[in-house]
Amino acid sequence: MQEMLPYLINGISVGGQYALIAIGYTLVYGILRLINFAHGDVFMVAGLIMVYTSTSMPIYLSLPVVIAATVALGFLIERFAYKPLRTAPRMSLMISAIGVSYLIQNLAFYITGGVPQPVTNMIPWISENVTVLGASTKRVTLVTPVLTIVLVIVLVLLIKKTKIGMAMRAAARDFETAQLMGIKINSVISATFVIGSFLAAIGAMLYFTNYPSVAIGSGGMPGLKAFVAAVFGGIGSIPGAVVGAFLIGLCEEVIKGLGYTTFSDAFTFALLIIVLCVKPTGLFGEKVTDKV
Amino acid sequence: MSEINNVLRVENVTMQFGGVVAVNNLSMEVNEGEIVALIGPNGAGKTTAFNVITGVYAPTNGRVCFNETCIVRNHPTGKMKKAYKGEHPTLYTAQAAPEETLSDEALETWKDQRKALDPYAFSDHVLTPTPDKITQLGMARTFQNIRLWKSQSVFNNVLIAMHMRRTSNLFTAAFHLNGKEERAQREKVLELLRVVGLEDVKDELATSLPYGKQRRLEIARALATEPTLLLLDEPAAGMNPQETLELADFIKEIRTKFHKTVLLIEHHMDLVMGIADRIYVLDFGKLIAQGVPAEIQSNERVIDAYLGVADDAEN
Amino acid sequence: MKSLKKRENIITAAIVLALLALAMALDILLPGYHIAIKVLKKGAVYALVAVSMNLLNGFTGLFSLGQAGFMLLGAYSYAVLCIPVAKRAGVYQYFDGGLVQFSLPEVLGKLPGMLAALLIGGLIAALLAFLIGLPVLRLKSDYLAIATLGFAEILRAFFQWNALGPITNGSNLLKSYPEIGGALAYILLAGIFIAMIILLVNSTYGRAFIAIRDDEVAAEAMGINLAKHKRMAFIISSFFAGVGGGMLAMYMGAVSALSFKSTMTYEILLIVVIGGIGSISGSVLTSFLYVASLEWLLRGLDSGTFLGINAPGLFKNGFRMAVVSVIIMVVVLFFRKGIMGDKELPDLFKKKPSRKMKKEVAAK
């Protein structure tokens, strides 16, 4: 058990980071019924921006810049790649998302030359080493779950208690009727992407403090895993996405700890397929019936 | 004496979606050669009934028999059982007993008769074939919201409906070795189009046709599956009086020339009163009246359902 | 079949024959490593895979992202079955020469052996499609995409697993297997398989697939069994993807599961979309365009000089792909129907009705 401890701790931490990304997926899917393939790449770009800004400006400046830039990116993607296709068939929208993901990865490759960018100036305090129950780890692994839960609580309150939150829930329920009822659907959708990107930025800052190297493909796997977490928890359900994310993070690390590193990724996909075949609506999801 | 053949028999069908009872204990019959109409205000559950009959939904309770073969059968389970039992204490078992109380002997006889027709009566067996299997048996339908294949021509829309009657398998078809069958089917499609008067637009895109012609195309497509029973869901919707008259004549022709039986849902009262042999009236999922057109026209409950006067007066 | 005699079909046939003649000429005149030959070969392979994906995604409307997985199966099947026995010890050096100790070209003769290996690759891919089709095809479009993507990734993980090394060579390359010939061979081979798909699409089953895409509720109501036909489309598409994978292995000369990432599926998907969903000629055309642009015309964008403009600071590694990605986004956003829409090559040459004819039709 003692050998598994660092893996378990890391699992909770990674789970928290996946959760922050997963919320972005589940929010967007709930309203637009779109799997935002580019979300993982937005996460990766946040990491890159963190690398560049942390070397060229003081830390208390670079963090807000990372957040602002990531939010802007998410907003722009929605505005230019998804909004024009809102009336197009679902496949076109998905293809656009794939295209954006492709574009971001290729641009990142061009700019970085394909070389993984090391995080040289880490965020202070959370990147310090601490000892927990005999295992040595970075403080970020303890901060992440706490921060994640705090942010999730804030988000759930926002959705339940504020006007914009209610608008989001209405749009997720019935997109067209929400529009007819006078809800400014564009603002709602933009807000969704802003929130998702904001959380992804925080997730990136935490994740890349833990794994201090940003490669072009760094967004791919965490993104996909976060998506699986969202599906597992019930797409459209925030608590579900969070539960799913922690579960996946833990299992992934445990599998690594048991020695089957090549299969830690495959496990996530196997879980996805089992969920889709057994209970596609996920843990907390709702069934939707189509009218004939 | 001629035998009246039951082409379709709907027995105590209930369709419940969670808390909403869309169809409540509906029983209907359609006999060979008849034109039967199912009418009622909007939201009465008519299309839902169609969907149960054609296998799109598995009913919460009841069964549907087609030419004496039971094709759809279910009874409530789990949570549904509880909810259903409250409203229909005697009906939530697999087969509804007749209203009057029978002696035990008579009940056993009645049960045996039922079992002779359906070996799974009174059991927990659920039978819900997919709509394509029901179409194979000889039932075809049209849709309330026209569902033509948008990228295909008028001709192809009808031709595709003949796919299921093919005897060639994937390989002979894929390598175009089924020329004879293909030619024969194309001939039949042309004939059908001639009958509905769409021959001259056969190569046009199906959705480029005016609304009335699209409805006729849907009917032609349904006929292409060689059904015995044709279910038409609001075939006259969106038609002007002239088109409605032509449609009425055409439906009568389907009966006489093609020897089909027709069950239709309709709102156009002139059409219904003009061609229907018998009418069933639904309101809020419940059957409130049945009979020949003359009876229905003077039925107070029917008038109230459409105009809602009596309900308000009672309050 | 009188349609064969129509004007537009003759023109199309002429173009195809011209292309074949060109390929044959280039094969004779140019060395095998020349970029033009490579473009023709790779273009042919991508064309086959793109058409197979179009069959599933474009004609039947099933949004599947598992193509790379089926190609992987086909590629490995071809490689494993065709490595000459003498070379096996070297290739499988960590696995004692490997499990398979024969090579089809040596058993059946060079050409039949290679063809058999390709077909077996296709059949194995089709078998997997059959197995996963049952649960997966019931899912809604977005979920189907993710599930198929997941299966492809799981497959990739398996093929890199060292426990399966005796067959797959684990995380090492499979190489030293023979190639079928020059550009003409690739184009003929791909052409035959694409022709089969064209025949299928124009048959009654092809029309049934299109009906399922356009409105599956209506298709079911008209007697088309959805599960059976979707599985059919899935299996057939996967078969051809497997064969395409085998041909890709031939072209690359060495296979590793690492090359069959989901990015490959995205590439093919984007080719299908740009060519036009539901247009086979569009997929073929765009495949060649894509490969030619990437490998040949736009090479300069990566290496400092392009179209005479010398700007090594701008034109460095990766610029090519960045430019291609931008072009793809432009097409996806502004030319949604793709290059060919849903038309085929003969449609471009059809006689357009003259103004006089149009007036007559309108007057009726």
Q: Are residues B22 and B104 in the same domain?
A: yes
pLDDT score at C1? 44
Average pLDDT, chain B: 84
% pLDDT > 90, chain B? 38
pLDDT score at B159? 95
Q: Tell me if C233 sits within 8 A of C64, measured CB to CB.
A: no
Nearest to A256, CA basis, from A1, A2, A11, A18: A11
Residue A186 in domain: yes
C-contacting residues in A 9-48 (Cβ below 8 Å): 29, 33-35
Is the CB of residue B231 less than 8 Å away from at least one CB of chain C?
no
Is the CB of residue C205 less than 8 Å away from at least one CB of chain B?
yes
Among candidate residues B196, B226, B256, the one where a domain is terminated:
B226
| Residue whose entry in the numeric block shows the structure tokens 């060229």 | A56
Please tell me the distance in Å from C27's CA to the nearest CA on chain A: 34
Which residues in chain C come in under a pLDDT of 70?
A: 1-5, 297-316, 351-364
- Report the DSSP pairing between strands C305-306 and C309-310: antiparallel
Please tell me the distance in Å from B280's CA to the nearest CA on chain C: 24
pLDDT tier for residue B194 given thresholds of 50, 70 and 90: very high
CB pair distance less than 8 Å for B56 and A292: yes
d(CA A5, CA A254): 9
Q: Tell me if C214 sits within 8 A of B150, measured CB to CB.
A: yes
Residue A178 in domain: yes
Write the pLDDT tens digit of every residue in C234-243.
999 999 999 9
Chain C residues with CB-CB distance to B224 below 8 A = 222
Write the pLDDT tens digit of every residue in A189-198.
999 999 999 9
Please tell me the distance in Å from C211's CA to the nearest CA on chain B: 6
Per the structure, how many domains does chain C have? 1
Residue A124 in domain: yes
Q: Are residues B165 and B21 in the same domain?
A: no
Write the pLDDT tens digit of every residue in C93-149.
777 777 777 788 778 888 888 899 999 999 999 999 999 998 888 888 778 888 898
Lowest average pLDDT, out of B31-35, B184-188, C101-105, goes to: C101-105
pLDDT score at C199? 93
Residue C301 in domain: yes
Torsion angle defined by CA atoms of residues A123, A126, A129 and A132, in that order, rounded to the nearest 10 degrees: -170
Chain A residues with CB-CB distance to B143 below 8 A = 292
d(CA C161, CA C310): 46
Within 10 angstroms of residue B265's Cβ, the number of other Cβ atoms is: 24
CB pair distance less than 8 Å for C222 and B164: yes
Select the residue of B140, B156, B170 nearest C207 (Cβ to Cβ): B156
pLDDT at B310 over 50: no
CB pair distance less than 8 Å for C324 and A106: yes
% pLDDT > 70, chain C? 89
Select the residue of A33, A111, A272 nearest C150 (Cβ to Cβ): A272
Which helix H or strand E contains A132, and what residues bound it? Answer: strand A129-132
pLDDT at A90 over 80: no
Residue B58 in domain: yes
Q: Are residues B244 and B131 in the same domain?
A: yes
Residue C357 in domain: no
Chain A residues with CB-CB distance to C147 below 8 A = 272-273, 276-277
Residues 6+ apart with CB under 8 A from C45: C186, C190, C244, C247, C248, C251
pLDDT score at B86? 63
Which helix H or strand E contains A189, and what residues bound it? Answer: helix A185-210
Q: Tell me if C280 sits within 8 A of C51, measured CB to CB.
A: yes
pLDDT score at A1? 61
Chain A residues with CB-CB distance to C264 below 8 A = none
- Among chain A, residues having any CB pair with chain B shorter than 8 Å are 289, 292
Residue A190 in domain: yes
Q: CA-nearest residue of chain B to A289?
A: B17
d(CA A271, CA A190): 31
Q: Tell me if B220 sits within 8 A of B192, measured CB to CB.
A: yes
Q: Are residues B214 and B293 in the same domain?
A: no
Domain that holds residue B268: 6-138+228-314
Lowest average pLDDT, out of A228-237, A278-287, C205-214, goes to: A278-287
pLDDT score at A128? 75
Is the CB of residue A256 less than 8 Å away from at least one CB of chain C?
no
pLDDT at A107 over 80: yes
Q: What are phi and psi of C78, to 5 degrees?
A: -60, -50
d(CA B302, CA A193): 53
Widest CA span of chain B, in angstroms?
A: 71
Is the CB of residue C222 less than 8 Å away from at least one CB of chain B?
yes
Residue C361 in domain: no
Among candidate residues B177, B201, B226, the one where a domain is terminated:
B226
Q: Are residues B85 and B153 in the same domain?
A: no
Q: Tell me if A225 sits within 8 A of A43, measured CB to CB.
A: no
Please tell me the distance in Å from A287's CA to the nearest CA on chain B: 11
Domain that holds residue C299: 2-28+35-350
pLDDT score at C223? 93
pLDDT score at A235? 78
* CA gyration radius, chain A: 19
Lowest average pLDDT, out of A33-42, A156-165, A198-207, B78-87, goes to: B78-87
Q: Are residues B201 and B253 in the same domain?
A: no
Please tell me the distance in Å from A59's CA to the nearest CA on chain B: 55
Chain A residues with CB-CB distance to B17 below 8 A = 289
Q: Are residues B303 and B178 in the same domain?
A: no
pLDDT score at C190? 93
CB pair distance less than 8 Å for C316 and A113: yes
pLDDT at A286 over 70: no
- Tell me, rounded to whole angstroms, the distance of Cα A227 from its chain centroid: 8
Q: Are residues B307 and B173 in the same domain?
A: no
pLDDT score at C311? 65
CB pair distance less than 8 Å for C318 and A106: yes
Residue B73 in domain: yes
Per the structure, how many domains does chain A have? 1
pLDDT score at B102? 66
CB pair distance less than 8 Å for B151 and C224: no
pLDDT at A264 over 90: no
Residue A250 in domain: no
Write the pLDDT tens digit of every residue in B203-241.
999 999 988 889 999 999 999 999 999 999 999 888 888
Is the CB of residue C203 less than 8 Å away from at least one CB of chain B?
yes
% pLDDT > 70, chain A? 95
Per the structure, how many domains does chain B have? 2
pLDDT score at B308? 58
- Amino acid letter for position B213: K
Residue B93 tokens, joined: 């078992």
- Report yes or no on whether pTM surpasses 0.90: no
pLDDT at B312 over 50: no
Among candidate residues B185, B206, B226, the one where a domain is terminated:
B226
Residue B256 in domain: yes
Tell me which range, A196-210, B114-128, C227-241, is most confidently predicted by mean pLDDT.
C227-241
Mean pLDDT, residues A191-212: 88
pLDDT: which is higher, A1 or C211: C211
Nearest to C36, CA basis, from C19, C17, C54: C19
Residue C269 in domain: yes
pLDDT score at C11? 81
CB pair distance less than 8 Å for A91 and C141: yes
pLDDT at B95 over 60: no
Is the ipTM above a cut-off of 0.90?
no
Q: Are residues B17 and B159 in the same domain?
A: no
CATH no. for residue B293? 3.40.50.300
- Chosen from A41, A235, A269, A278 to mutate, greatest number of chain C CBs within 10 A: A269
Is the CB of residue C199 less than 8 Å away from at least one CB of chain B?
yes
Please tell me the distance in Å from C239's CA to the nearest CA on chain A: 22
Residue B168 tokens, joined: 């060639």
Mean pLDDT, residues B59-67: 87
Residue A249 in domain: no
Q: CA-nearest residue of chain A to B145?
A: A292
Q: Are residues B178 and B67 in the same domain?
A: no
Q: Are residues B13 and B113 in the same domain?
A: yes
Residue A240 in domain: no
Q: Are residues B192 and B69 in the same domain?
A: no
Is the CB of residue A114 less than 8 Å away from at least one CB of chain C?
yes
Chain B residues with CB-CB distance to C220 below 8 A = 130-132
Domain that holds residue A61: 24-218
